[in-house]
Amino acid sequence: MEDRPVIEAVQLGKRYRSHPAVADISLAVGRGEIVGLVGPDGAGKTTMLQLLAAILDPSEGHCAVLGFDTVRRAHEVTARIGYMAQGFTLYDRLTVEENIRFAAHIRDVPAAAFEQRQERLLAMAGLAPFKQRREGQLSGGMRKKLALCTNLVHEPPVLLLDEPGLGVDPISRRELWRILESFRDNGTTIVVTTSYMDEAERCDRVMFVDHGRDIAFGTPPELCGRGAGAVFRLASTNPEAFEKLARGDRGILDIEHRAAGIRFVVDPSVGLSPELRTEIERIGELVEAEPTLDDVFILLGKDTTSVDAASAVSVRPIGRHSWSSTEGPTIVMRDVTRRFGRFVAVDRLSLDVQPGEILGLLGANGAGKTTLIRMMCGLLPPSEGVIRVAGVDVTLEPRLLRQRIGYMSQRFSLYPDLTVSENLHFFARAYGLNRETMAAAMDGAMAPAGLHGLDDNIVRDLSGALRQRLALSCAILHRPAALFLDEPSSGVDPLSRARFWSLIRGLADAGSTVVVSTHYMEEASYCRMLALMHEGRIIALGGASELRAAITVDPDVTMEDVFAAYIERELGRAPPTREVAA
């Protein structure tokens, strides 16, 4: 009996009418094991997790958790597990302590045990100093850790987590995973869905799911082995020449433009022809690269995912923006401060961003990134200082500003009950486009994003990746001089993320200035400039290679490590207060 799996699914399936959300998946998870479920948007990961949690009944097959059938004895399963959905349930008017106490009460945790467990969980999550703070006043990372604490207070032997790192900064995600690993080491069995391949690498085993089916299952090293000989790195100062060679070559599945050159993935069944290799080696130094799970995701998805992988390397050129200046930066900020009452969200910030620049804003939850973007878009007035974007003072000329910028918020400002075409029409009119230019503008925005043929589709029925690309298309209809993207790829799979960044780079190459916030450190390598924010201030500014060199000489250090090192260095200094005198 000791060897019996904690979770056992046999030929599990779930249908919605004729659509198979999960099909013929078998899975056995042992005690003290972390299994990750990865796959493109709509692949069936969440449905699979809800089947394991006894929230949904399977249409085919069966599943047992802790020896209890998830259909016949669902109440036994739900009473013993911890389940954290993407839209986790917390009570924003209750304090941190009150949320945990409520979760313990409904789980019948004895009062004596509760005090000890709460103290241990709060210390582990770094929430002890915030016991009396209301949930609604916590940062995104703190809310995630609190949600995890409420699911751990009854010490469940099984923990099911749906995208726990979504929208959480790198340091908070590290802390979250330290908590998970400590519980795993004490025997807790964990199944987690994730869009972040660095999180998948921390799992004991990973299952790649697409169209509801198990495409690949193994340890991270086993899966990465599938990419051997298929990933290359090109050090070159002429990436455009490589793109010309790669365009139309069906063997090249994905291209990533990085500060140090180009990284690309080749279809193993096609390979890199000797002729193409010779041409590429004339451009720069070509070497094989170590495959990552991101690369394996591209390789596994090349024949199964609904997104055309090859389109990531053949995006139609994007037209130039409608406003231009022969001199000076697109964005100018001088001594900009924004206060909310006594709280200082952005603190005396000065910054110039040049035309065609891609500026990445990195920082922990609550660092001030979204506030800064909203001020540059004219949605929030600065408390002090001056901001000029595309030649416009954002405070004095908000109407003119809106004609020269594009903005894509974290939640995508789309209308779910309208079609793709109707959303584009709405935004075209909002940007002041006339009937004569509207059709051409819509075509010019849809083509690079691969949205042709979807004109009459209702937005709520689109996948997350397609909604993301539609939101970007709506933001660039009028060819803005400056484009502001707030966490645009949060929760998006690597294949969709690669295509999205190809679009962003196309906009920058056409002369638009792009400002993008992100919590995914791999995306930092795509940005030409990075601004690391902490407590409303920019603590480091420069290219990825410059920021890495200022911290370490080790070329293998990840951007997440670099980010953490800057934050730790800043925390080691005398911390400035974000409260101002009354």
pLDDT, residue 332, reads 96
**Average pLDDT over every residue of 157-173:** 86
pLDDT in tens, 121-143: 998 888 888 899 999 888 777 88
d(CA 402, CA 7): 53
Edge-to-edge strands of the sheet including 261-266?
252-258, 261-266, 231-235, 285-288
Residue 547 has pLDDT above 90, yes or no: no
Residue 441 has pLDDT above 90, yes or no: no
Q: Nearest to residue 470, comparing CAs of 518, 511, 503?
A: 503
- Has domain 355-378+391-571 been given CATH number 3.40.50.300? yes
Which of 2-6, 45-49, 53-57, 278-282 has the least mean pLDDT?
A: 2-6
Kindly provide the residue ranges of all beta strands, DSSP E only, lying in 384-503, ordered along the sequence: 384-389, 392-393, 405-408, 482-486
- Give the pTM: 0.80
Domain edges within the chain: 7-218, 355-378+391-571
- Tokens of residue 318, six digits: 């994007």
Residues 6 or more apart whose Cβ sits within 8 Å of residue 112: none
**Is residue 222 within 8 Å of 191, Cβ to Cβ?**
no
**Average pLDDT over every residue of 552-568:** 78
pLDDT in tens, 207-236: 999 999 999 999 999 999 999 999 999 988
**Is residue 527 within 8 Å of 360, Cβ to Cβ?**
yes
pLDDT, residue 555, reads 62
CATH architecture entry for 7-218: 3-Layer(aba) Sandwich (3.40)
pLDDT, residue 305, reads 42
- Give residue 1's pLDDT band: very low, low, confident or very high (50, 70, 90): very low
Q: Are domains 7-218 and 355-378+391-571 of this chain identical in fold?
A: yes
Residue 310 has pLDDT above 90, yes or no: no
Longest dimension (CA), the chain: 76
Burial of 74 (0-12, 13-18, 19+ CB in 10 A): middle
- What would the 3-class secondary structure string for 464-487 be? HHHHHHHHHHHHCCCCCCEEEEEC
Neighbours of 257 (CB within 10 A): 21
Question: What DSSP designation does 129 have?
Answer: G
d(CA 470, CA 472): 5
Question: Percentage of residues in the chain with pLDDT exceeding 90?
Answer: 46
With H, G, I as helix, E, B as strand and everything else as coil, classify residue 460: helix
